[in-house]
Chains A and B, each alone.
Chain A
């Protein structure tokens, strides 16, 4: 008997199409399938870890509040000495296995791919919609592409990562809270209209 196909945590609620008001600048929502791997440096091994990340993924670990893009993965700073590696969903556990091999003895590596869900919100309405539940300042003078922050949005712990100037934000939340979070997102975006790809 084979394992069941994994179902996207938002499969039941994220109906593709238009939700809320009709307007010419709706919030665009996409649900990428991502691998997420948490990497926590062992004490005193930060420099060796930085070299290993450079060799294996082609990027230096980003500084606090920032992200970095490498050859085939990105890293987002999440706490002192810890980063979240992200890449498009590949073979089950492959990114974690690669990171564990590259960082053996240098960092604790934990696969979070199933535990967290990433939602991308994009478009000119994105800042105004997020401001309804997010306490941090996402204005361009305070935030921007390549910036990341762990915070709460609508009382749900959320890793916010701005990827471009559209602006597009990647919101990574616990999968078990993705559904209520998504309901909040539809409500918050209703006055602008929400288009789910």
Chain B
């Protein structure tokens, strides 16, 4: 069970959140072509290490949050609101 420190509500259990995928993916522009949209929809990095992900606090403040989580250890190092930027560390 993860414990995610929501910037609005404080630390809450994972059960209150929904995972919403990789937060580093950006939607291509309307003229970027089918290949760009294929990549946007299907191609994921699936890293072994740090990843910035979307989590929605659906049972709490309903906000979409960016969470920096380690995909092996599940350590959560930083949580930010949707408009803030989170850098992925090197190691």
Binding partners A and B: yes
Q: Which residues of B are interface residues toward A (Cβ below 8 A)?
A: 8-10, 12-13, 15-16, 59-63
Give, as a whole number of angstroms, the nearest-CB distance from A61 to chain B. Answer: 14
The answer to whether B59 and A80 touch across the interface, beta carbons within 8 angstroms, is no
Q: List 14 A-B residue pairs with CB atoms under 8 Å apart, sorted by A's residue number.
A: A65-B8, A78-B61, A79-B8, A80-B63, A135-B12, A135-B13, A149-B60, A150-B60, A150-B61, A150-B62, A151-B16, A152-B15, A152-B59, A157-B59
Give CA–CA (A183, B40) in the complex, Å.
46
Give, as a whole number of angstroms, the nearest-CB distance from B13 to chain A. Answer: 5
Q: Is the interface of B mostly helix, strand, loop or mixed?
A: loop
19 additional A-B residue pairs with CB within 8 Å, beyond A135-B13, A151-B12, A151-B16:
A64-B8, A78-B61, A79-B8, A79-B60, A79-B62, A79-B63, A80-B61, A135-B12, A135-B16, A149-B60, A150-B60, A150-B61, A150-B62, A151-B59, A151-B60, A152-B15, A152-B16, A152-B59, A157-B59
Q: Which residues of A are interface residues toward B (Cβ below 8 A)?
A: 64-65, 78-80, 135-136, 149-152, 157
The answer to whether B8 and A80 touch across the interface, beta carbons within 8 angstroms, is yes
Residues on A with C-beta less than 8 A from B8 are 64-65, 79-80
Q: Is the interface of A mostly helix, strand, loop or mixed?
A: strand
Q: Which residue of B lies closest to A152 (CB)?
A: B59
Q: Which residue of B lies closest to A63 (CB)?
A: B8
The answer to whether B15 and A150 touch across the interface, beta carbons within 8 angstroms, is no
The answer to whether A136 and B62 touch across the interface, beta carbons within 8 angstroms, is no
